[in-house]
Every structure is written in C-alpha cells, then in structure tokens.
Structure 1
C-alpha cells in the first residue's frame, strides 16, 4: 500500500505542464490525444468539456482511486487520486509528457512551467483555521493576537515558496488550504470539509536543448518526494492527523 495512504483521507499526485503558446484546438488533435491515453488506461472512459474549451478525460468518480487528464488553453494536467504507489502515478504522468510533444506539438522550448505536486486531504468537522493555528504554531511573533479574549482565527493558511537553485527557476511550494467560513464560525455549525496540504516542486522556463519533459519530471519528482519525507510528513501531516483524531 502507498506509504502516504495512512496519513490522510485522500492523497493524490498531480502533474501540470504550462505552455507559452496555446495548445492545438482542432477536434481531431484533441480526440486523438485522449484516445491514445484511453488505450493505456481503459478505466478513463468519461470525456467531457467545460465551456467548450477545456477538456477532461477521467475514470468514474465513485471509485476510491480516480485517474484524470485535462487539457486547457495553455495547460495540460494529469492526476491520480489514491494511487497504490507513486510509480503508478508517475507512469501516467510520463505517458502524458511523452505524448504531448508529437501529438500536441509541445516542444521543450514551449514550456512556461512544469510542476509535480503531492496533495493530502483531511476531513474535519470543525474550525479548520483554529485547528491549524493550534497544531502549526505561528511562534511568538503573532501569538499575542491569537491569545486575545474571544478571538477566533478566520484564516490561517501558512505557506512558503523557496528557490531551490541560484537561478530561482526551480521552486518548492508548501501551502495549506482551509475551508471554514465566518458564517460557520459565528453559528458554531461546521460541515465535514477538507483541510488540504499541498507540496509542489516547479521548474520555470524553456527546457534545455539536451533535456526532455519526462527527464525533467523525474528530477522534480525525486526532489518533491524527498522533501515531503524530510520536511512535511512528521512536521505537518502527522500533527494534523493526530489533532483531528484526538477531537
């Protein structure tokens, strides 16, 4: 079983390729790309468009594991929810990156950004922001604000972006998203929404002439998974999980 599966209610591994130029819009090109993906992953049998310009191919949403690939005007995305292992997700992402250059005419020169993201969703019926302020302590700089009589956090979504090289073209981003709103806090009535933790490594700019999309993806994947294991699992994911279980 996937090593992250026990850490959250849902876990997913996503790929995004942002292009400088618009992707091809002809019917034949779009359908040919998705049909090729479907040959490898027959469970992806649901094809639909959003507003006639964004397209998505996905498996059934009622399954615990769900595959999807989408194509927008200047972005190709691929995702696998609750993969059995990360190699399974990587194989899907690499296929997308191998098909894009010759089926969608996306050259390495056309790359605006390429990123790999690991996401974790925690279902929690309560004040998401208050829980995070407790678990992910902000430190003494703003502790006095949280200690004000009657005060309750309405937005506590810590995040950081770091450059991973001297050129600042490769970034790592950690972000947390809460879904509690002021009305829920005022009424004390909460739905079982998700707290989401995202960790993403992104490469900006055109790829080197000697590189390729799938090679660059493997580099981003290695960095992302190493940093999640070293800096996110014990420090963020497990404390959130333990705090929710204790309530």
Structure 2
C-alpha cells in the first residue's frame, strides 16, 4: 500500500472505468486478443475468469496486493488494490486507455465517460452507520434530524457531487458506504464483515473529438483526484472516520 495511506485505512485501491454507448465485441476471439495483449504487458495478470455478464483477468493476491481487468457489455474496468505507489496503478489504467479502443473498436463518438476512483476501506467491529454519523454528521445541522435518545440510526451514507474546472463534463463525487444490510438480529450495520468504504470518483463525460485526448483526460482526472484526496478527503473524511473507529473499540 502507498505508505502515505497505510496508517489511515485498511485497504486502498485505484480503479478505472471506460464506459461506451454501443456494446463492445464479446466474442471469444475479441476477448482473448484483448486480454492476451494486456497479459503480455502485465504478466502478473494471469488468471482468466468468467462471471455473470463479465470476463475478468486477475492477478494473484500477494499480501493484500492484486490487480484486475474486467470486460462487460458496455464497460472495461480495471483496478489495483494496495499498490506500492500511484504510478503502479496508473500504468495499468493508462495502458488500457491506449490499447482498448483499438481492440474493442471504440470511437470518440462512442465514449460515454471515463471514471477514476480512489477507494478507501475501513474495517470496523461496531455499528458502521454509527461510526459514519459520529465522524461526519454529529456536529452538523443534519444531526438534529435524529433523536439520539429515542431513535436508532439505521443508515448514514453521505454523497456529494461537484463540477470541476467550471466544466459540467468534469465532475467529482464523494461517497461513504456503510453497507447497512440487516443481519439475523434485524439490526443494521452490526453484522457481516463488509468494511466502511469511502470513494472519490472523478468522471469525464464524452463524447470526445479524438482518441488522442484520452491521455490528457486521464491526467486531468488523476490530478483532480490527488488534489481532492490530499486537501479534502484525508482531513475531512478519512481521518475523522479512523478516529471514530479507534475512539470506541468494540
């Protein structure tokens, strides 16, 4: 994991999604040609898997670090979990932007959007909604919506979106997922092993004029993401959640 983040969260990952309007080729030859090309450049991606509606190329999980590429009907996604550096994850994503349009016959007009996602997972042994509420909402006016003496919180999953660069096609979203599924006790947020997840999603909407724009689009998304993580997400979301988890261990 990036050393800067190792002390804040349990897992950190950088994902990318290339979304198109028209269906991508899903035949055996198209999938194997694309994945074979990717595997030559990234030899650790050596396991071909088939899931419902998806083909995936995956690496082994080595001490919590692994990467993957997944092809669906209208998306090509990639991810790197606990990379040693951002550049390590970026190399995979940039490579897909370079080769995928030609293997999947993606045109500039066909591009719907590109997303770059920074994800942060926190393991917690007590109610995850309570943790999110305490960390992010307890001192805000929204806290007045809940009578803490009489009512039990059942969901706290904030989502905010902003436009970037005064460009409506460039957006960023901050999302916190507590995954408040009810367990056998009927009490949300207390059962299961799912973590609290924090996502920063930077999105550039298409279409574009030329495939040559893809590298600069990625650079803009990466630049915005790194800035927002450093200046806003770490001090305003990640550190408070970490502090709330440690302040009242189960």
TM-score computed with the length of structure 2 as normaliser: 0.91
Aligned partner of 1:141 in structure 2 is: 141
Runs (4+) off by over 6 Å? none
Contact 2:107/2:211, CA 8 A, preserved across alignment:
no
Is the 8 Å Cα contact of residues 120 and 198 (structure 1) preserved in structure 2? yes
CA displacement, residues 172-204 of structure 1 (integer Å, 9 cap, x when unaligned): 000000123344563995344300000011011
Match of 1:18 in 2: 19
How many Å apart are 1:109 and its aligned residue? 2.1
Q: Taking structure 1 as reference, are residues 164 and 32 closer, same or farther at Cα in structure 2, changes over 3 Å only?
A: same
Task: Structure 2: give runs of 5+ residues left out of the alignment.
Answer: none
Q: Aligned pair count?
A: 246
CA contact (8 A) 1:199 1:224 kept: yes
The 1:140/1:213 distance shift into structure 2, 3 A limit, reads closer
Q: Does residue 77 of structure 2 align to residue 45 of structure 1?
A: no
Counterpart position of 2:213: 212
Q: Deviations over 1:1-35 (max 9, x none)?
A: 61222221000000000001110122111101101
1:113 aligns with 2:113: yes
Partner of 1:74: 74
CA deviation profile, 1:137-180 (whole Å, cap 9, x unmatched): 25553323323423221110011011124441111000000123
Please report the TM-score for the alignment, with normalisation by the length of structure 1: 0.92
User: Do the aligned residues in 2 keep the contact of 1:113 with 1:204 (CA within 8 Å)?
Assistant: yes
How far off its partner does 1:225 sit? 0.8
Measured at CA, do residues 109 and 186 of structure 1 come closer, stay the same or move farther in structure 2, by a change above 3 Å?
closer
RMSD: 2.0
Write the distance in 2 (CA, Å) between the matches of 1:153 and 1:202: 32
